Amino acid sequence: MNPFAKIRSASIMTLALWVCLAVPVFAQSSTPEAGLTSDANAHCIESRLRVGDLKSIDNTIEPGVKRATEEATQWQSDARLYTLRLGCSLLVTGVKWEGVFFSESAQAFYETDTGKVEPVEVEPKLIPTLEPSEFKMSLVYEALIAYGFTDDLLLTPAGGVTIKTNTNQLPFGPPSTSKDTVYAHVAVEQQDVIVDVWISMADYSVHTYRVGD
């Protein structure tokens, strides 16, 4: 073969190989990060709640409860809020409020995050209704910091924050907690130990139970 033809053929093959390798790289670089951010001050970095996330989310409570309530009343018009849950949104950075609602007409609980309906055998009058209009997650945060937790500590992935009323018929919390009182529960990962914490939404006192000691 003519030496110039060989050089030309080799050049064409090299160019074709470069194009094949380059195309996927260019295509990948144009794909967005599905709404996630590397901002260290954002909530739910890597889809995990931290103690520090609770400091500045009071303004998310009202719209979050409104959205959950609208969904629940589409299920049953008499649905009322029984439990409030705070977690991380999927695929995007930020928090999301979900609820467990009770309907007397359906005699059942409804979970807005899963759509699960669970029959209830408790008398309707014994099932308390949450009134979250005065809840302050910033005060929950301050109670955790005062107790000795730090901003960077993670909450357990499945736990997040759960808010409900502790009653004799439907207990929520350790024996040291007061009855007919609303508590916020978090499970904090601290030095390979899971610390279950209940914070009173009345006086923001802290009650703990450690798993792993």
Give residue 207's pLDDT.
96
Name every residue whose Cβ is closer than 8 Å to that of residue 152 and which is 6 or more positions away in sequence.
50, 51, 52
Low-confidence ranges of the chain (pLDDT < 70): 1-41, 91-92, 211-213
> Is residue 164 a contact partner of residue 172, using CB atoms and an 8 Å limit?
yes
> Is residue 63 a contact partner of residue 7, using CB atoms and an 8 Å limit?
no
SS3 50: strand
Give residue 30's pLDDT.
29
Give residue 29's pLDDT.
31
Distance CA 163, CA 88 (A): 16
**From the CB of residue 27, how many other CB atoms can be counted at a distance below 10 Å?**
9
Give residue 125's pLDDT.
95
Model confidence pLDDT, tens digit, residues 58-77: 999 999 999 999 999 999 99
Domain boundaries, the chain: 1-31, 45-211
